[in-house]
Amino acid sequence: MSERAPDGRRARQAPLGAGDTVLVTGAAGGIGRYVVGACVDAGLRVIATDRVPFADDRAAGCPVGDIRDADFVASCLLGPDGPVAGVAHLAAIPAPGQVSEEETLDQNVLGSFVVLQQAGRHGVRRVVLASSVSAFGLAWADRDLSPRYVPVDEDHPTMAVDCYGLSKVLAEEVAAFSTRRWGLPTVCLRFPFVGTGDRLTGQLARVHEDPGGHRRDLWAWLDTRDAARAVRAGLTEPLSGHHVISVSADDTSALQPTEELLRAHHPDSRLTRRLPAHSAAFDNTRAREILGFRPHHPWRDERPPHTG
């Protein structure tokens, strides 16, 4: 699922570096706040936007508006002191059930379309979009599904039967379209559960109490600080074309060994390689090879396990 940018768009191939300006959408959200910090730490100038009013001293500006409003997005991309070079697009409805299915599609697909088309028109050099392992389709399914094979990679066919998963499949497709249309390099990061602090503690407690209840997320997780580092790498690593990249921790959130969990909960899934101990059930090869990304924040070293 990688495409090369058309020839003659070389100017668009330069990665972002210190001094460049990046627009972070969804900057008031759980991941967005950390992305603002990771970008500022790398010397990038940040315009942080969200539809809810918020303040962030680290940002050069915090315009408030809706990403489905093309004029608003265009004004953000022009920047207060010159054009924006990259976009980290995190604004979305992050799970099913928060709003109607129609609204989820509208926010996540039309929103991505507007951001990516405006980025293309304004000569932005890179867009990183927060996708989800939900695009592969198990996480929110209303029925028992199993992956065809494990570890699950980005080429696994989608099995999505929920509208949030569909919205992420379609947002990735909009990114691929924007790469073809504008020669705009796009990176879609498929995140699993993302959390740190109390949010992560709660998730670990739930997984440890009922590992079978988490068979649909394949016990995958990622610390929010690492998710922000992955977004930053998507902006600053040299690359061209369109990429869909799974980014999870290298281990699971569970106490049981991964192969034992798979035998118990996904017995028909084909194991394409051994997964020793608590190895992740998602394949992180692309994240390592394309983004040079390794997670820095394990949970096992940092906190005692919850035993229910």
The yes or no reply on residue 50 touching ligand NAD (CB under 6 A) is yes
Report in angstroms how near the CB of residue 88 gets to ligand NAD at its nearest. 10
* Interacting span for ligand NAD (CB under 6 A) from 1-9, 47-55, 118-126, 291-299: 47-55
Quick one: which of 136, 182, 191, 282 contacts ligand NAD (CB under 6 A)? 191
Half-sphere exposure of 196 (CA within 13 A, CB side): 15
Report in angstroms how near the CB of residue 240 gets to ligand NAD at its nearest. 24
Residue partners of 108: CB distance under 8 A and separation at least 6: 92, 93, 164, 167, 168, 170, 171
Report in angstroms how near the CB of residue 25 gets to ligand NAD at its nearest. 6
The yes or no reply on residue 140 touching ligand NAD (CB under 6 A) is no
Phi first, then psi: what are they for 169, rounded to 5°?
A: -60, -45
Report in angstroms how near the CB of residue 150 gets to ligand NAD at its nearest. 19
**How far apart are alpha carbons 110 and 308 in whole angstroms?**
42
In this structure, are residues 258 and 252 in contact, taking their beta carbons and an 8 Å threshold? yes
The yes or no reply on residue 26 touching ligand NAD (CB under 6 A) is yes
Segment 156-175, which members bind ligand NAD (CB under 6 A)? Answer: none
Residue partners of 140: CB distance under 8 A and separation at least 6: 95, 96, 134, 162, 164, 165, 216
The yes or no reply on residue 90 touching ligand NAD (CB under 6 A) is yes
Choice between 5 and 127, CB closer to ligand NAD: 127
In this structure, are residues 185 and 127 in contact, taking their beta carbons and an 8 Å threshold? yes
The yes or no reply on residue 68 touching ligand NAD (CB under 6 A) is yes
Sequential DSSP letters for 267-286 = TTSEESS---TTB-SB--HH
The yes or no reply on residue 32 touching ligand NAD (CB under 6 A) is yes
In this structure, are residues 190 and 154 in contact, taking their beta carbons and an 8 Å threshold? yes
Report in angstroms how near the CB of residue 90 gets to ligand NAD at its nearest. 4
Choice between 20 and 223, CB closer to ligand NAD: 223
Quick one: which of 91, 231, 233, 262 contacts ligand NAD (CB under 6 A)? 91
Q: What does DSSP assign to residue 108?
A: I
Residues that bind ligand NAD (CB under 6 A): 26, 28-32, 50-52, 66-68, 90-92, 94, 107, 111, 130, 132, 191, 193-194
